[in-house]
Amino acid sequence: MYIPPGFNTVAPYFFVEQAESLVSFLVNGLGGKETCRTMRPNGCIQNVQVQIGDSTVMISEATERYPAMTCAFYLYVENADKAMQQAIEHGASLEMPVADMPYGDRQGGVKDRHGNIWWISQRIVEEPYTP
């Protein structure tokens, strides 16, 4: 099986209203990098690919066939406090303040303007999760 560079076995795909603003949040608020862009003849985003860390997500403007939908994501970062602040400075709202969790993560949560929840997590122990 061939998976293109920058992609993993599962790649999140967003369908949102005002897709350009989500692309901006992913790049500026979460430190992503836009790697590919395809536009529709009407000027709306058909597909934008944004690499965040070692994963790529895709974004499209919602349509009647593919309406806007929300989801939740778990995002690993180097510094949860800094990443949370950056996300909030770029339009996210606070869901849960950053705190040390009993399962070994320093984590907080934000909601982007499109309703998606981002659990921003810094692993503070170098061991797997345990039941």
Instruction: Flag whether pLDDT at 131 surpasses 90.
Output: no
What are 34-48's pLDDT values in tens digits?
A: 999 999 999 999 999
Number of domains in the chain: 2
Answer yes or no: do 77 and 40 share one domain: no
Segments forming the whole domain that contains residue 38:
1-66
Instruction: Flag whether pLDDT at 130 surpasses 90.
Output: no
Contact (Cβ atoms closer than 8 angstroms) between residue 130 and residue 89: no
Answer yes or no: do 61 and 76 share one domain: no
Which one of 15, 31, 66 terminates a domain? 66
- Interatomic CA distance for residues 73 and 77, integer angstroms: 13
pTM, two decimal places: 0.94
Answer yes or no: do 129 and 83 share one domain: yes
Q: What is the DSSP string of 74-103?
A: EEE-S-HHHHHHHHHHTT-EEEEEEEE-TT
CA angle centred on 51, ends 82 and 70, rounded to 5°: 80
